[in-house]
Chain A
Amino acid sequence: MTHSSISALALALVSAGFIGGCKPPASKAVGKSAESTPPLVQAAVSLPEKVSFNEHVQPILSEYCYHCHGPDSGTREPKKSPLRLDRVEDAFVLRDDGTPVIIKGDPKKSLLVQRMHSKDPDEIMPPPKSHKTMNADQIAVIERWIEQGAEYEPHWSFAQVKKTEPPAAGAGWAANPIDHFIAEKLEKSGLKPNPPDDHARFYRRLHFDLTGLPPAPEAIMAFEKSAAVNAQLAIETAAGELLASTASAEHFTRHWLDAARYADTHGIHIDNYRAIWPYRDWVIRAFQANMPWDRFTTEQIAGDMLPERTLDQLVATGFSRCLATTGEGGAIAKEYQAIYAKDQVETVSAIWLGLTTGCAACHDHKFDPVSTKEFYSLTAFFRNTPMSALDGNKEDHPPSVFVPLLPDRERWDTLVQEIAKAKGLLAERAKAARPEFDGWLTTAKIEATRDLDSSLAIHLPLTEPEGPLRGFVDGHPREWPTVNTRVEGPLGQAPVISDEPVDLGDIGSFSRHDQVTYGGFIRVEGEPSGAVIARMNPAESHRGWDLFLENGKPAYHVIDSWDKAANKVVAPSPLKPGDWHHVMVTFDGKISGHQASAIFVDGKNVGAKTYPNTVGGNIETAVHLRLGSREGGESRLGPKVALQDFRFYRRLLSSEEIDVLAKNSILQGIVAMPAEKRSKEQVDLLFDYYTNNIDAPWREIRTQLDLLETEQSKLRKKGSMSLVMEEKKEEPHAHVLVRGEYANEGERVTAGTPAVLPPMAADAPKNRLGLARWLNDPANPLPARVTMNRTWSYFFGSGIVETSADFGIMGARPSHPQLLDWLAAEFVDSKWDYRHMIKLMVTSAAYRQSGLITPEKLEKDPANRLIARGPRYRLDAEQIRDLALSSAGLLSPKVGGPSVKPYQPEGIWEAVAMPQSNTRTYRQDRGEGLYRRSIYTIWKRTAAPPSMEIFNAPTRETFCVRRDLTNTPLQALVLMNDPQFVEASRELASRALQDAPSFDERLDFVTRRLMGRKLDSAERDIVRKSLDTAMADFRSKSADAMKLVTTGASPLRKDVDVPELAAWTLLASQILNLDETITR
């Protein structure tokens, strides 16, 4: 046997359980070469009686010949007269010598075979430079095929789905049609199915497979009872009930989110938060409602284009917005548009078509009949979007839509109407008020902005023509003596604070996590530098804050320790000398990075630069607040700066509020102008002021509107924006990108589907809506097959076609082609009833078998491709965590909503994030957020939740239709030491201790929840021994015991015997870590 076949088989074996695999962009990597080699046992047996092109010949030709003699014209050899072997119409073409390379019926005369046998390195095929060698068995297959007439067949997956009658095999064993197909293959291979699994164990597996959660002990008992009477009926009833649960919808959503590459951040570069969880909740509701699969497809692919689309249908299109995007400063839009389009096509291809179309991005597909041109026609469907290539690092990167929480939806809709109505009234009143306004203008006077706000902690109007400065601190009047001169300001005489610093006292301190807004009117001469106002101690590494001028540019600092832990924010341009400008800054200690800081000049955010932006933990200092310098006279302001109406708010003012503060000065100026000199815009500004401040009827409507808008903003906070798709008006098109290079645009193509598959309906629009229709067209042989295959893999561990995302020439062959077709046809016949199909699978006798592995079966069918035994696989990452939480009684039942932040070791995000990312710092939730189902854990794409990633959760950077299943020491460390598992063990132990007094009852309490069964007596002895040792140990080291039982945020129950609880915690952890516990 050659190396290659050994390795193929070895790896088929490896796939028996340890290595499966979704690796980023694709289907699976069963060890080494299982992708190309059908890991069926039959492949290893000797020469078949009747050689089939599809089953026997094509795998050989595609492996050894197609690279140079296949679909890709770019690499076809020999260059002067290319030979193509993958299509019947080319394979028998007469060559230069007047004969074809394959002579039907005569392998000896066929050049194809002669070259395979050649010893001459210049002649032998495949040539030495390919590093591939055919073995004698493979050549013999080719020879027999030619002998038998060299018949070509169309590739199996492109052929129409054929629903055949289930075979007769399996009578007496079969529970439904699925089993007859399974039984037929088993009989042929001489294997017998395993006996049914024990009821309790079966029910636990069913429960995990349908809900992702362990069954409650009571539910197991109930199932055992009804199964004892009529097992099949019990299974059918249980499956129906479980499938109808919300937990089930969450579970299937989790599978789907892997495929849809759902995550809560953009994914590339700054990797900021992205608002798209309403899409996740939509998927949950779709599964909960058992939405027909064709609708599920249509709404996600083209919900935005449906007539009279609903909000839900729009949200569903978030599917195509789940892709990773960038906001990197230097990124080139065209390049990323090409990357995104490729990702969209690859994702849809993998999920619905099972084709690795991405290969065709650079060259015609090497093996599958998908040309480069066809690939780019597919990209056209997704390129017709107004979405900008760069996401701007914004969570609501348009197109996006606001989605109220479900219970708020109705009120939200009426609010929108009421607000529109109020706005109409307001406009009407504005018209009516115009004559009164004209009258008012003759005597107009602008009042200083009223101080309605208790968050205004410091207010210095600074309008006195002489004498001390006057102001308010927390609403109380205060005075400060000064010698400063005065200049004309917008609201009166303003002090020139650069004349002499003023000590304002011990006021205006704030902490690192506060939100503040401060600033006022500033007038400069020249380009002065120094502190306008500061509470900052230069002697204490500049701890504190200030408002600063740097060569006339407004700036501010918030400093823990300069310059290691500090924010410095500088506006891009200096203030215009001689004019009054309103300067206000905001600092948001609740978020990190650039987003925390902004400078507003004359009411407009000027896009200040923050540098450095690493503000530390402590910014509070004991020194006083000063005008005109920092503590000790440092950064003395000069040359000439005047200040008026300084305000310090202990909250973030909105940009609108800051704008109002700024405008007042402008208004003062306009009022002071002669009427004829006022421009229309200036009069409009005055009119705004008039209606907002003087006109009572207008103000009344405005108050009503404010109330409505406040209510709306409350609802807005509860809901979320969600990214969606939109279509541009023009006809979708794309350019072929030569060799996949974005800048190398070739032929223009319109949207279309590959010619090897049935065409789109004649009347279907050539856009996403048409694409959706095509994906749902029963004539399209792939979507139903691929969907059923993937679904099958959820229950049986691997698909009928092992390469779930590759049904192409190089993909694996189906182990049960007729069964796959039967399922696909049944799926379509049932009007795409997904739940019906799942129920068929889990109520089959095949699924019900025990997982026992006998040497005979391991020998004959190591990867269980024939399903002679029940599936036995490790639980997925989310299932393990949910199992722990659920058994401990910690799991929150809440469904949907924003993602949460459970326990995570420190530094995971920080190690990779950019400083300005708003997902740089992980701030763990408190309370319920620690205990939600794992599907709700926040997913930062560049740093996926580590304890889940260690258990093979994909990173969600690209689609994943099948997860890896490895077994590593890192997993052991997570289950033993991650605080969330330790805490769960402690809570489970604590409940067990409370529940019963005896060792046996307590142990049952633990194992029934974790393993779904009671231990037998031998097992009890083992556990008892461990417990006794632990108990003795903790009795002598009570401090250790205390440390162990105080792991985690949930409170310790009162009156517990700490060493006893510690020992039981270790026991619960021991059970939790067992192979059986984390296996279904």
Chain B
Amino acid sequence: MNPSEFHNTAYSRRHFFRKSGTGLGMAALASLLGQRGISAAESMAGINSMLPQIAPKAKRAIYISLIGAPSQIDLFDYKPELKKRFKEDLNGYLKAQGQRLTGMTSGQATFPLAPSIFKFSQHGQSGTWVSELLPWISKMTDDICIIKSMHTDAINHEPANQLICTGSMQAGKASIGSWLSYGLGSMNEELPSFVVLHATHTSPFANVQAISSRLWSSGFLPGKHSGVALRSLGDPVLFLDDTPGISREARRNMLDGMNELNRRSFSAIGDPEIENRMQQYEMAFRMQASVPELTDLSGESEKIYQLYGPDSKTRGTFANSAIMARRLVERGVRFVQIFHRGWDQHGDLPRDLASQCKDVDQGCYGLIQDLKQRGMLEDTLVIWGGEFGRTVYSQGKLTETDYGRDHHPRCFSIWMAGAGIKGGQVYGETDEMSYNIVKDPVHIRDLHATLLHTLGLEPERLSFKFQGLDQRLTGVDPARVVKEIFA
């Protein structure tokens, strides 16, 4: 067909839709307005599923995911009495608990109790106990709320990470950030609403677990809600840089020609998708300018680098990612998730946990202080934590100076800050062995409910119909918003 053949049939979309004053027309208008239009239509549907919304405490969130599961016993869950029980065999106790063990320790003959060898001390006005491994986080205990009573259903990394990142151990569900993007939409036209950062770990001994895009995938939600990973190698966004030899002017020239050709095509065919595509190319062109501006940290002051620590100038480190996270939320990104791997200390825990902590400690401090000094902490939620806890008994050989710990789903510690959360607080308690929770348990779905609630979304109402079911981040079981942690 000659594309100009139907030229005369072309209508302005606005003209056409003005004619139809019905709900259909309105909805169609919203849906056909290209990029912005889609989100309008979606948020219309979103609003429907969520109304009434609640007053948000936070506009955005940063989630620091420590993949591999940091040991709560060596960091936050202080159990001084255990010193006396060094090497006590927990075999009988474990049998009585009826707990399933992972394939890694289920064959162990004895389960010797391994007290933490690290010193704990009290910090801040609150007098919160924190391990010597986290000297920087110790300085800001009055800014954070430690939850010692987290628990999960999974005992191995893959399902546990999936559960904490998507609310389900099964693949194919939508991740936290996708839900936020879907429920709240974007605050920035040039950046995705959900960005993922992969921070490097420095120790060559770190026991590193695999992760995959299923942890930041949109699952059954539309693909545009997937997390976009800002890479620490090569282009921060895939293929962002123009091919060598193509200048900005050359690209502009090419796009101008393309726009003219595409517009003619639209006139001939009338497919709204063509205009949508033109807008995507323009957005790409804008991103080519805005993303380098975002990822160029050279404008950050020396004071900032000092705040986040010596690693912060090196691209890809945790501290550097923390600065990047701040820059992202500053620019309106809704949800930033930083993944830091290597926290799976089955053996050599004292050596390896120390280096892992060193990787993240000052960066976390810098991030919270930086948000605070910019007045952003009050409406930014920050969460720090792994996918489960670690066992009080040693995996493998236990000596005075060395031990390892297996996976423990029954309790673990995380901390949260910002967004009206009362700092200097410790929520929940575990028993004398950091084995079972004795007070205020918080399941992962409760954490999710709290997170959604903080951002103004009702966990029950944020849903998406898929496979005939109203899918929710918090799943089918009732979830509780942990309101007590807020000031």
Contacts and interface: CB of A to CB of B under 8 A. Distances in A.
Interface stretch (A443-451, A749-757, A971-979): A971-979
Contact of A44 (B24, B26, B228, B460): B24
10 contacts: A3-B44, A7-B49, A271-B212, A565-B204, A941-B212, A968-B280, A969-B281, A1030-B254, A1066-B250, A1076-B262
Contacts of A21: 222-223
B270 A973 contact: no
Interface string A925-957: 000000000000000011110110110100101
B172 A969 contact: no
B170 to A, nearest CB: 8
A914 to B, nearest CB: 4
Nearest to B200: A911
A339 B159 CA distance: 11
B254 A3 contact: no
Contacts of A942: 210-214
Given A14-B38, A23-B466, A6 B245 contact: no
Interface residues of A, number: 143
Nearest to B202: A564
Interface in A92-121: none
Interface in A5-30: 5-7, 9-11, 13-14, 16-19, 21, 23-27, 29
Contacts of B234: 905-907
Interface string B251-266: 1011011101110110
Interface in B36-53: 38, 41-42, 44-49, 51
A743 interface: yes
B204 A913 contact: no
Interface of B: 1-4, 6, 9, 11, 16, 20, 23-28, 30-32, 38, 41-42, 44-49, 51, 100, 102-104, 155-159, 170-172, 198, 204-205, 208-214, 217-224, 228-229, 231-235, 237-247, 249-251, 253-254, 256-258, 260-262, 264-265, 268-274, 276-278, 280-281, 283-284, 287-288, 406-407, 460-461, 463-469
Chain A CB count within 10 A is highest, among B157, B235, B467, for B467
A3 B210 contact: no
Given A13-B32, A26-B467, 8 more contacts: A17-B271, A17-B272, A330-B407, A810-B469, A872-B269, A911-B231, A967-B276, A1029-B253
A1044 interface: yes
Interface stretch (A314-322, A546-554, A852-860): A852-860
B16 A858 contact: yes
Contacts of A368: 468
A54 interface: no
Given A17-B272, A29-B466, A964-B222, A957 B243 contact: no
B27 A811 contact: no
Interface in A236-270: 268-270
A329 interface: yes
A913 B224 CA distance: 24
B224 to A, nearest CB: 6
Contacts of B253: 1026, 1029-1030, 1033
Contacts of B250: 1030, 1033, 1040, 1066
Given A32-B45, A366-B468, A564-B204, A332 B156 contact: yes
Interface in A729-747: 743
B28 A26 contact: no
Chain B CB count within 10 A is highest, among A31, A969, A1030, A1039, for A969
Given A25-B171, A268-B158, A1030-B253, A972 B284 contact: yes
Interface stretch (A218-226, A380-388, A661-669, A1017-1025): A1017-1025
A852 B261 CA distance: 17
Contact of B277 (A915, A943, A967): A967
Given A958-B172, A1076-B265, A32 B464 contact: yes
Interface in A899-921: 905-907, 910-915, 917
B254 A978 contact: no
B4 A1016 contact: yes
B468 A36 contact: yes
Interface of A: 1, 3-7, 9-11, 13-14, 16-19, 21, 23-27, 29, 31-33, 35-36, 44, 62, 131, 197-198, 201, 268-271, 324, 326, 328-333, 335, 339, 356, 358-359, 366-368, 390, 563-566, 611-612, 614, 743, 806, 808-811, 850-855, 858-859, 862, 872, 874, 905-907, 910-915, 917, 941-944, 946-947, 949-950, 952, 955, 957-958, 964, 966-974, 976-979, 982, 1016, 1018-1019, 1022-1023, 1025-1026, 1029-1030, 1033, 1037, 1039-1045, 1047, 1062, 1066, 1069-1070, 1073-1076, 1079
A29 B222 contact: yes
B243 A743 contact: no
The 7 closest A-B pairs by CB, nearest first: A810-B468, A1044-B245, A24-B172, A330-B102, A198-B1, A1043-B245, A1026-B257
Given A18-B273, A968-B280, A1066 B219 contact: no
A957 B170 CA distance: 11
Contact of B273 (A17, A197, A563, A917): A17
B265 A4 contact: no
B38 A18 contact: yes
Contacts of A23: 172, 218-221, 223, 466
A339 to B, nearest CB: 8
B155 A970 contact: no
B213 A943 contact: yes
A109 B343 CA distance: 65
A634 B228 CA distance: 49
Contacts of A356: 467-468
Given A332-B156, A973-B284, A24 B237 contact: no
A398 B83 CA distance: 48
A425 B418 CA distance: 80
Nearest to A1074: B261
A1019 B4 CA distance: 10
A1075 B20 CA distance: 28
B78 to A, nearest CB: 27
Contact of A25 (B172, B270, B468): B172
Contacts of B3: 1016, 1019, 1076
A1074 B276 contact: no
B27 A13 contact: yes
A967 B273 contact: yes
A9 B24 contact: yes
A947 B104 CA distance: 38
Contacts of A326: 158
Given A917-B210, A973-B238, A1016-B4, A1023 B257 contact: yes
Given A5-B23, A973-B239, A24 B171 contact: yes
Contact of B104 (A11, A330, A874): A330
B243 to A, nearest CB: 5
A1047 B326 CA distance: 36
B24 A332 contact: no
Given A911-B233, A1070-B254, A563 B204 contact: yes
Contacts of A611: 205
Nearest to B287: A969
A905 B2 CA distance: 39
Contacts of A811: 468
B103 A1069 contact: no
A1073 B258 contact: yes
Given A912-B211, A969-B287, A1033-B249, A26 B156 contact: no
A1043 to B, nearest CB: 3
